[in-house]
Structure 1
């Protein structure tokens, strides 16, 4: 953690805008989400991924929680310190550093404090530091970069618990943040609850598809991809034939109710790779 250096006193932190916390994650939904992976949701969504953000330690990368968004103006980290005091059990601190990868806004001390407050994890769209100690800790840590340079308190503008666009995706307080070895996804609680049953069903079906493929069933027939091939007399399927893939684009995605935070409202067509 950075402490103020000798010199002129920093400006007041009143330039940091704050908002109310989002609703906590429902325990039943949290339990379901912990059994699923980001790729399962990624096959049904076209947005929500934090591009370029990766787990610092893929072994302990499983993260499920609610977003506490923070925006800083590097090299200032005042909003991060304010946000740490607002963290509730199950929150994921999501720090947006803009385009800056030089200054690390989270290190081992901040991570330890987040652990003490019961945070579910921390995501930094920027750099972290103290990586050996972060890996030794229990808190899931995700970042875009690593740096020995650290932030400090300068009184620059920022925000805590206000909606942000982070790494190409919109994040609002209380949104669901999922993280694992494949990256980080953000979605509204309504979207997560609507898609979770389909993600779980498709994951349960995967062993059966592998078994059928070993027995000689064509992958394209199982997923319906064969219907996209140019029809010929030999390849045109019989009338009424269809695949039984849970990802069959002919069946279509489940409807996801619109939400105020503006995330994806439908799951796009596609098949699991």
Structure 2
């Protein structure tokens, strides 16, 4: 069914109307690894792939949550006009709701946002939850954290602030390339996020990363079982 745009962003600024889908079963296999950003980070290091951002920068709003899914990207910039003037004129150029409008089941909204103001609030989070999104990653501020928690919509963000972005932010692109903490992210790249941080995996390398992460996870399970059984430290497996 054709998507009806909300009109908050020019159609030519939406690079892809549909986020590229991961191979069948890939998301579920990543999910089976649990809180695996440490393992995935090690594998990406071994393959020379950049894409790790720690939870000290992108902090989760719901502890104990792990999400995996394709990135639906949004790029925001600061409006040129003074925010008090745009607020008085009721000018709102934020268009993350357009991203929600385009979202497919399991997508993760990833926003290259603006610092010091909110790039996503509670109603936006509730909309994302209703659309079936797994959650959101925001470089920049968010607000209404209690609201997003109440609908079980997890967000990883660099800031939390009550200051609205409605009169301060302009969304300039959806499903184009963005950059967060020096990491380049494209629509459809695989996002793995947990309490430890966020891994952005290039879509073309995701199956390669997954296969090695599964093997590393198996070895760590063996090592933990050996610990539980009382195996001496000197005799523990060392290849995990």
TM-score bracket for the superposition, by shorter chain length = 0.7 to 0.9
**Cα gap change, 1:142/1:16 in structure 2, threshold over 3 Å: closer, same or farther?**
farther
Kindly provide the CA deviation profile for residues 114-171 of structure 1, in whole angstroms up to 9, marking residues without a partner as x: 1111111111111111111222222221111100101115684611110111121111
Separation of aligned partners in 2, 1:110 and 1:216: 50
Aligned to 2:85: none
- 1:198 and 2:212 matched: yes
Query: Secondary structure of 1:50's partner?
Result: strand
Tell me the TM-score normalized by structure 1. Answer: 0.69
Larger radius of gyration: 1
Aligned to 1:50: 53
1:54, 1:142 within 8 Å by CA — same for their partners in 2? yes
Separation of aligned partners in 1, 2:210 and 2:76: 33
Q: 1:23 aligns with which of 9, 20, 28?
A: 20
Tell me the TM-score normalized by structure 2. Answer: 0.78
Q: 1:152 aligns with which of 166, 172, 176?
A: 166
Query: Secondary structure of 2:97's partner?
Result: helix
Separation of aligned partners in 1, 2:199 and 2:93: 24
Query: Secondary structure of 1:127's partner?
Result: strand
Q: How does 1:19-98 map to 2 (within 5 A)?
A: 19-20=15-16, 21-36=18-33, 37-46=36-45, 47-51=50-54, 52-59=57-64, 61-74=65-78, 78-98=94-114
1:15, 1:155 within 8 Å by CA — same for their partners in 2? no
Backbone CA RMSD of aligned residues: 2.5
**Cα gap change, 1:16/1:55 in structure 2, threshold over 3 Å: closer, same or farther?**
farther
Shift of 1:15: 9.6
Higher helix share: 2
The one of the two structures with greater contact order (alpha-carbon pairs below 8 A, sep at least 6) is: 2
2:78, 2:169 within 8 Å by CA — same for their partners in 1? no
Separation of aligned partners in 2, 1:214 and 1:77: 61
Query: Secondary structure of 1:82's partner?
Result: helix
**Cα gap change, 1:77/1:184 in structure 2, threshold over 3 Å: closer, same or farther?**
farther
2:9, 2:93 within 8 Å by CA — same for their partners in 1? no
Kindly provide the CA deviation profile for residues 164-212 of structure 1, in whole angstroms up to 9, marking residues without a partner as x: 1112111101111111111111112332211222212222222433527
Aligned length: 209
Q: How does 1:1-273 map to 2 (within 5 A)?
A: 13-14=9-10, 17-20=13-16, 21-36=18-33, 37-46=36-45, 47-51=50-54, 52-59=57-64, 61-74=65-78, 78-98=94-114, 100=115, 102-153=116-167, 156=170, 158-210=172-224, 211=226, 214-217=231-234, 223=238, 245-246=239-240
